[in-house]
Structure 1
Amino acid sequence: MSAVLRFPRRGLRTLTVTQAKLLLREPAALAWLGLPVLLVVIFGNIPAFQTPAATLGGKRVIDVYVPTLAAMVPLFLACTALPMTMAGWREKDVLRRLSVSPVPAAGMLAALVAVIAGLAAAGVAVVVAIGALAFDVSTPANPGAVLVTLLFGSAAVLALGLLIAARARTGAAASGLGVPLMVLNFFATGLYVPIAQLPQVLQRICEFIPFGAVTAAWSGHGQLWQHLLVLAGYTVAAGLLAARTFRWE
């Protein structure tokens, strides 16, 4: 953190803009941002998904899936884009060359995380807006709690992505670690099976997975302080490990 503070603001701003341009040049970036948006439009236009279901507590399928699809954006970016980008630089010796430049590791990581976080926030906002405006998906009972939990959840998966990025030697290795983490979080958000239809034990376990805790807060399940404590634990533990184990080569 001290290295970031010592790094000139103008230099950090320039580095962040450069990171954004490089990331958005990747064709996969459009998929990371576009797929959840496309899915919410498709799901919202399926007639069966507009009918309240007793198994979902009287909610419609689209009501359940909007928070799940919104969660896909930060999960795609944190679990795949972040570690694979960093591992690709390491594989191509970009990081080794940067290690002897005036650019501090903390400054470079801060710029990349800032870009990822900005894209994630934009993607989530678009998905939620489409759900609310086009398909009449109601807002959560406690929007402030959801927003705070979403921020904490994004920080948690970004920290986990950084931990993978700190050590993975190749893009393939980063993908091999990041994709299972992403799939696990997808399950906990109810992407494959709505959480309300899972056994109670599995529902409880999902609340201890980063974006399972976010989904639980969105649905009003459990205590908010418990969800935030889980997410803060992931963020602190993974962030500290990433900082301690980061390698240039």
Structure 2
Amino acid sequence: MCSVSEGPFHTSDASLTTLGPRRAILRTADGVRIEALYEPGEAGFTDTAIVVAHGFTGSVDRPAVRRAARVFARYAAVVTFSFRGHGGSGGRSTVGDREVLDLAAAVEWARGFGHIRVVTAGFSMGGSVVLRHAAMHEGRREAHTDAVAAVSAPARWYYRGTAPMRRLHWVVTRPLGRLVGRYGLATRIHPEGWDPVPLSPVEAVPLIAPTPLLIVHGDRDPYFPLDHPRMLAAAGPAELWLEPGMGHAENAAGDELLGRIAHWLAAE
């Protein structure tokens, strides 16, 4: 895998107005085709659009992503998409590295619909991506985010302190594991390791300000213990929500929590 380099963003054209949901294929700065879905808010056109970055093995049409989009749509327009190597998108997953280019293409597409504010919400791997994206695109209007919510995100790379993360590393790093990823998890994973190692989430946080940042984490997360969200929140200006009884990412986030996250994003 090759680390991200800056460059122009190429997406499909979007009308400034829309009568309903719209699917499109976006093209990232490095030429990967990304499937995306735009949905106007339930109350009609709003100032804010929320771009949702799913977790590893997710996609635009996975039930948990669709549920999050439905809740978010009560507060704003919503853009969901599939990261590279996931769903109907092209390419192969780099597990959080070049995925910032996928998110940047989705943010730029959302801005094309005429929303004044475009904000990002990411879960697990997607949480690490929204943090790195916000740090890397500060000051770049087209792909910049106006507020960030990272849910169940890791603070540092190569964490193997829990059984689920040891299994995930096996899937990503072993040839047999990548076959399991492709055929069992519908996720195509790049066979090469990071070179160079990308900016970590905790290193990204100090670079996000003055963009508002929310860190959300469950106290029963089986992947990343509470030192991860606390480390992220301590790295720079951020609001921290530790959710009692919550597990991991979009699958564990209840409608009430999703509503609070959407309200925070729309109000910031």
Shared fold (TM-score, shorter chain, > 0.5) = no
Structure with higher Rg: it is 1
The structure with the greater share of residues assigned to strand is 2
- TM-score, structure 2 length as denominator? 0.29
Larger relative contact order (CA 8 Å, sep ≥ 6): 1
